[in-house]
C-alpha cells in the first residue's frame, strides 16, 4: 500500500503505520499540474492546499482514499472521486484553536492599532496621542457567523474578554444558544446589525458562496471590525472595497479573493486600499499545535482505512441509501456462499447496494445483510434457500423507503 503526501505535513505519525505495509512517498513540492503523473500506483493521497482535479483522479487507477489535511474539501473534485468509488475524507476541527487565536489576535490588533503603532516606533515616531484612542473589547458585541468548532472556540475566548456574543448558524438552536449564554440571530443581516465585531466562520458551500454580501456589510455599525479567517469566497470583496471606507470599517483578513498560489509571491491585496486593513497570508492553521493535531488525525484516518470498517469524516458517501429492502442471510461460513447468493440476485435483476457481514464465534456461521434495489420475489428466495450452506433468509423493508 503506497501513500503520497503532496503537501508539507509531519510524517512521523504516519511512519508508525509502516508495520501495516504502508510505504510513504513524501513530495511536498508537487503542484496540481504535476500531480496526475505522480499518482501512478498510489493508493492513498494526502493533500493540504494542492488541488486535486478530475484529471488527477482519473489518472490514478489504484487510488482508494484522498485525505485533506485540514477542514473542508473545496480543493478536491469530490464528484470525480465519487464517480470512481474513491473515499474523500478531511480533518475538521483540528486547526480550530489556531484559527481562533489568530481571529482574536486580529481583533485586538485592530482595536488598539498595534501594527501601526509598532511601525511608527520603528520609524522613530513616539505617537502616543495618535494611538491612545481605542474602544476596547469589554462589553462590546461580537457576531459569530457560523458556529462550528472554530466559531465555538472564538465565542469562548471572546466571552473571557467580557464580550457579548451574538451568533447565526443553521445548526444553532435557541435552546443551545441560551445554554452557551449567547444571543441567536435569525439572519446574517440581523447578526451584522448587532455586531461591533463580526467574525466569519462559514464553510464554503453552494449556499454560502458570497453570502456575506453588500446587504450584510451595509448592516454593520459604523466603525465595526470585520474578520475573515474562513474562506475568501463567502465574502463579497468587491462590495467590501466600496462599503468599508464609507462605514469606516476595520478589516482583519487571512484570506483574499485574489491571493496567489504557492508559498512566496510578489503580492499586495487590492482590499488594502479600502482603509484600515490588517492581513496575514492565509496562515490561520499554521501553528505547531495545529499541524501536529492534523498530522495525527491523518494517521488515524489512514489507520482506520487499513484496519477498520468505519472511516472518519468521509464526505462523499450516500447519506440516503438507494436500497429499498434488506435481505438478511444466515449461512455457514464457507467459500463461495456469498458468490452463489450474489449470482442468484443478479439473475433476478436486483442490485446489491450495500453489504455488511458478521462472523460469529468459532467462525462456523455468519450473518450477512444485503441491501437491495428492490424486493426479491419468491422464486429468487427459493433458489437462495436451496443452497446447502444457507440456514435462513429474511426480507425486511427498509424504514421510510419501501
Q: Which residues on neighbouring strands pair with residue 393, listed in sequence order?
A: 329
Q: What pTM was computed for the model?
A: 0.78
Residue 216 vs residues 141, 194, 226: alpha-carbon distances, Å: 16, 11, 11
Instruction: From 31, 96, 99, 71, select the one nearest 282 (Cα to Cα).
Output: 99
Instruction: From 110, 60, 107, 50, select the one nearest 81 (Cα to Cα).
Output: 60
Q: Which residues are catalytic?
A: 231, 259, 282
Which CATH number fits the domain 96-284, given the four candidates 3.60.15.10, 3.30.360.10, 3.40.50.720, 2.40.128.130? 3.40.50.720
Residue 178: in which H helix or E strand, if any?
Answer: helix 174-180
Domains of the chain, by residue range, sit at 2-94+289-307, 96-284, 325-397
What single string gives the DSSP state of each residue in 96-158? HHHHHHHHHHHHHHHHHTHHHHHHHHHTT---HHHHS----STT-EEEEE--SHHHHHHHHHH
Task: Give CA–CA dist 11/299, Å, rounded.
Answer: 9
The torsion angle over the Cα atoms of residues 280, 282, 288 and 291, rounded to 10 degrees, is 170
**312: number of Cβ within 10 Å:** 16
Domain 325-397 in the same topology as domain 2-94+289-307: no
pLDDT tens for the 402 residues of the chain, in order: 999 999 988 888 988 888 888 999 999 999 899 999 999 999 999 998 899 999 999 999 999 999 999 888 989 999 999 999 999 999 998 999 999 999 999 999 999 999 999 999 999 999 999 998 899 999 999 999 999 999 999 999 999 999 999 999 988 999 999 999 999 999 999 999 999 999 999 988 889 999 999 999 999 999 999 999 999 999 999 999 999 999 999 999 999 998 987 778 899 999 999 999 999 999 998 899 998 999 999 999 999 999 887 899 999 998 777 899 999 999 999 999 999 999 999 999 999 999 999 999 999 999 999 999 999 999 999 999 999 999 999 999 987 643
**64: number of Cβ within 10 Å:** 15
Which CATH number fits the domain 325-397, given the four candidates 3.30.499.10, 3.30.70.260, 3.40.50.970, 3.40.640.10? 3.30.70.260
Q: Please tell me the CATH code under which domain 2-94+289-307 is placed.
A: 3.40.50.720
Amino acid at each position: 500500500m503506497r501513500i503520497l503526501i503532496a503537501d508539507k505535513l509531519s510524517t512521523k505519525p504516519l511512519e508508525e503505520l509502516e508495520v501495516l505495509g504502508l510505504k510513504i512517498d513524501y513530495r511536498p513540492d508537487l503542484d496540481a499540474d504535476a500531480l496526475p503523473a505522480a499518482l501512478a500506483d498510489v493508493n492513498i493521497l494526502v493533500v493540504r492546499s494542492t488541488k486535486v482535479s478530475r484529471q488527477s483522479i482519473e489518472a490514478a487507477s489504484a487510488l482508494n482514499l484522498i485525505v485533506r489535511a485540514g477542514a473542508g474539501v473545496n480543493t478536491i473534485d469530490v464528484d470525480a472521486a465519487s464517480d470512481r468509488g474513491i473515499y474523500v475524507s478531511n480533518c475538521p476541527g483540528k486547526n480550530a484553536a489556531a484559527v481562533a487565536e489568530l481571529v482574536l489576535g486580529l481583533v485586538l490588533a485592530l482595536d488598539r492599532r498595534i501594527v501601526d503603532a509598532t511601525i511608527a516606533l520603528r520609524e522613530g515616531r513616539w505617537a502616543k496621542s495618535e494611538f491612545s484612542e481605542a474602544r476596547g473589547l469589554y462589553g462590546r458585541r461580537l457576531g459569530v457567523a457560523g458556529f462550528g468548532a472554530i466559531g465555538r472556540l472564538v465565542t469562548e475566548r471572546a466571552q473571557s474578554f467580557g464580550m457579548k456574543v451574538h451568533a447565526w448558524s443553521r445548526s444553532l438552536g435557541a435552546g443551545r444558544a441560551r445554554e452557551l449564554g449567547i444571543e441567536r440571530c435569525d439572519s446574517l443581516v440581523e447578526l451584522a446589525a448587532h455586531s461591533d465585531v463580526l467574525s466569519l466562520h462559514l464553510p464554503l458551500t453552494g449556499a454560502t458562496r458570497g453570502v456575506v454580501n453588500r446587504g450584510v456589510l451595509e448592516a454593520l455599525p459604523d466603525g465595526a471590525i470585520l474578520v475573515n479567517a474562513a474562506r475568501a469566497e463567502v465574502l463579497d470583496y468587491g462590495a467590501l472595497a466600496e462599503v468599508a471606507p464609507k462605514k469606516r470599517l476595520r478589516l482583519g483578513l487571512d484570506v483574499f479573493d485574489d491571493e496567489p498560489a504557492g508559498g512566496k509571491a510578489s503580492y499586495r491585496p487590492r482590499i488594502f486600499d479600502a482603509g484600515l486593513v490588517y492581513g496575514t497570508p492565509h496562515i490561520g492553521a499554521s501553528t505547531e499545535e495545529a499541524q501536529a493535531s492534523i498530522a495525527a488525525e491523518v494517521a488515524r484516518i489512514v489507520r482506520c482505512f487499513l484496519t477498520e470498517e468505519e472511516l472518519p469524516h468521509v464526505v462523499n458517501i450516500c447519506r440516503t441509501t438507494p436500497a429499498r429492502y434488506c435481505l438478511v442471510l444466515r449461512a455457514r461460513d464457507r467459500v463461495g456462499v456469498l458468490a452463489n447468493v450474489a449470482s442468484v440476485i443478479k439473475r433476478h435483476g436486483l442490485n446489491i447496494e450495500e453489504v455488511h457481514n458478521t462472523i460469529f464465534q468459532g467462525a462456523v456461521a455468519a450473518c450477512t445483510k444485503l441491501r437491495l434495489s428492490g424486493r426479491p420475489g419468491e422464486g429468487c428466495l427459493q433458489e437462495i434457500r436451496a443452497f446447502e450452506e444457507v440456514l435462513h433468509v429474511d426480507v425486511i423493508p427498509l424504514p421510510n423507503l419501501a
